[in-house]
Amino acid sequence: MSDSLPADQLQALDQQHVWHPYGPMPSRTPALPVVSAEGVRLRLAEPVAGRDELVDGMSSWWAAIHGYNHPVLNAAAHRQIDTMSHVMFGGLTHEPAVRLAQRLVQITPEALQHVFLADSGSVSVEVAVKMCLQYWRSLGKPGKQRLLTWRGGYHGDTWQPMSVCDPEGGMHELWAGVLPRQVFADAPPGGFEAGVDEAYAAHLRGLIARHAHELAAVIVEPVVQGAGGMRFHSPGYLRVLREACDEYEVLLILDEIATGFGRTGTLFAAGHAGITPDVLCLGKALTGGYLTMAATLCTRGVAEGISRGEVPVLAHGPTFMGNPLAAAVALASVDLLTGQDWAGEVSRIQDGLREGLSPARDDAGVRDVRVLGAIGVVQLDHDVDVAAATRAAVRTGVWLRPFRDMIYTMPPYVTGDEDLALVCRAVRAAARAG
Ligand SMILES: *Cc1c(COP(=O)(O)O)cnc(C)c1O
């Protein structure tokens, strides 16, 4: 390797030239250079507030469920890169993609039989939407081209996903009037265990009934709304949506990009409700946080509908579709997860988060504390001072990335009890500072 840049020089060049997520250019706040990662720890290029290592409370945006530098995932990546890193997917196929698709079909609800491998979560949502619009077009109902969702959601940063993100609190209000106009229901009432509010259920049914003639699909994040506000709701609403979609002939897309692979305590969050969507989006933890890959699964009915159309193919084909390297690591990650007592680990983390975060209820400025599976959230009664909150977490030895009024953690499932307690202390310290 060429000589590495000194940390301060790297930071300066980074600020000058490199966009970061939701960042200004040039950047106003320096990002922390990371040189390596191992287990649940990120190693910094130089100490910050006396810390040269940080316990990662974010799983790199909810993806690195097995932690970093995992021997099993590393071995899968090495094996694959020494064989074939990539080959086009048009007209060619390969074992990593076929086996991954087969595995995803095995572990998701029975009716989901077909897999489209996409290169990011947002693209998998684009593909899901395209599938649904094309399905209705093929069935001679081209007027069914709008989407219905509930407020408070997040589905990605490309165009169609942006149109179903929360139009107000979300990050895309800038584009109101430019994005396709979708149908928004009120946000689902909060609380995983709250039960179904019949008035709200009627509101959902009523909207679906009223707009059915123009709706291609309902799209929601099941049980946990992630980047739209880290809110939990009753799985009962998913049954309401499933029934109404069946009754009024609308497809149901579940976006499990954040909730998939055990995060909420069931392998997929739809499992809390026992329902099957027509289309399912997976991403984030799919490759254990190693490489970018996502998947859109659909039922036979959706695929058959599309193939009956005037254009009988799904017109989508990213250059890096089915990337063998990402597929090989994804397969290893899924097998690693399902081959262990993942539910036990997630439940252990849920207990640790409850114990460590519950006392924050009495802290000044805290509006709510909630935990579900390996997700812990402290919501403040004001917007977080992100710089101050991050500094407080780093001083504690933990990496957190708060947003809006939320300080939260989604730790890797391999986080040990002591590290988890440290993460909880850091969340509370960040809440006090921010
Ligand atoms: C992160 C996320 C996306 C977007 O995935 P990217 O890989 O960032 O494009 C979509 N939906 C949900 C629920 C997400 O959490």
Summarize pLDDT for 299-344 with one digit per residue, the tens: 999 999 999 999 999 999 999 999 999 999 999 999 999 999 999 9
DSSP character at residue 147 = E
120 ligand 1 Cβ < 6 A: yes
* CA-angle at 76, arms to 415 and 34, nearest 5°: 50
- pLDDT at site 171: 66
Summarize pLDDT for 78-122 with one digit per residue, the tens: 999 999 999 999 999 999 999 999 999 999 999 999 999 999 999
Given a cut of 70, the residues of the chain with pLDDT beneath it are 1-2, 169-172
Q: Among the atoms of ligand 1, which is closest to the Cα of residue 258?
A: 15
Name the residue at shortest CA distance from atom 15 of ligand 1. Answer: 258
- pLDDT at site 218: 98
Q: What is the dihedral of CA 426, 365, 353, 120, to 10 degrees?
A: -80
Name the residue at shortest CA distance from atom 11 of ligand 1. Answer: 155
119 ligand 1 Cβ < 6 A: no
Q: Which amino acids are annotated catalytic?
A: 22, 154, 255, 284
- pLDDT at site 100: 98
- pLDDT at site 2: 61
- pLDDT at site 169: 67
Among positive and negative, which fits the CA dihedral 401, 32, 416, 72? positive
- pLDDT at site 170: 61
Distance 155 CA to ligand 1 centre (A): 6
156 ligand 1 Cβ < 6 A: yes
Among positive and negative, which fits the CA dihedral 192, 195, 197, 201? positive
Q: Among the atoms of ligand 1, which is closest to the Cα of residue 227?
A: 15
